[in-house]
Amino acid sequence: MIEEEAVPFYKHRTMLTLKEVQSLLSGEVLTPGMNLEKECSKIFASDMMSDVLAYIDPESVLVTGLITSHVVRTACLADVSAIVLVQGKRPEPKVVDEAMVRNMPIISTACSMFEVCSRISRSLPEAGG
């Protein structure tokens, strides 16, 4: 159970940096040393990689509960900015290693997929999904 937390409200902004996403979700970065100052404006939440490949916009943040290496590969191929893993999930070390090699940040959060979307949308009401 996640306690209700006040989230920052960025009224006139349409972008968040990955660092701000991490902070908003009290997330842990599993891939150290990557550039988290990169900005992102879109969030795409799905466990269906087929849908990610078909519908995600480049530079989006991918929110998912899947933790296989296919998530990392799908994210790289679709030009995703970062992967957010929900429910405190942690992939096997080899998956994290692959993300490091492919320069794909992974943030793990205890939030549910709904809570992730809700916090970001409350924070950034003008951003697209």
Partner 1 sequence: MMTEISFQQEFEIKGGDFVRAGEAACEIKNLLKELGLGIQVVRRAAIVSYEAEMNVIMYAGSGRLDLSVTSDRVRIVVEDRGPGIEDVELAMSEGYSTATPEMRELGFGAGMGLPNIKKNSDVFKIHSEVGRGTRLEMTIQTNGHKP
Q: Contact positions toward partner 1, by CB under 8 A?
A: 47-54, 58, 64, 66, 68-71, 73-74, 76-79, 102
Taking the least distance from each CB to partner 1, the nearer of 43 and 66 is: 66
Taking the least distance from each CB to partner 1, the nearer of 101 and 126 is: 101
Taking the least distance from each CB to partner 1, the nearer of 2 and 76 is: 76
Least CB distance to partner 1 at residue 129 (A):
19
Least CB distance to partner 1 at residue 31 (A):
17
Least CB distance to partner 1 at residue 53 (A):
5
* Burial tier of 4 (Cβ tally within 10 Å: 0-12, 13-18, 19+): exposed
Which of helix, strand or coil describes residue 85? Answer: strand
DSSP assignment of 8-71 equals ---TT---EEHHHHHHHTT-EESSTT-----EE-BEEE-S-HHHHHHHPPTTPEEEES--SHHH
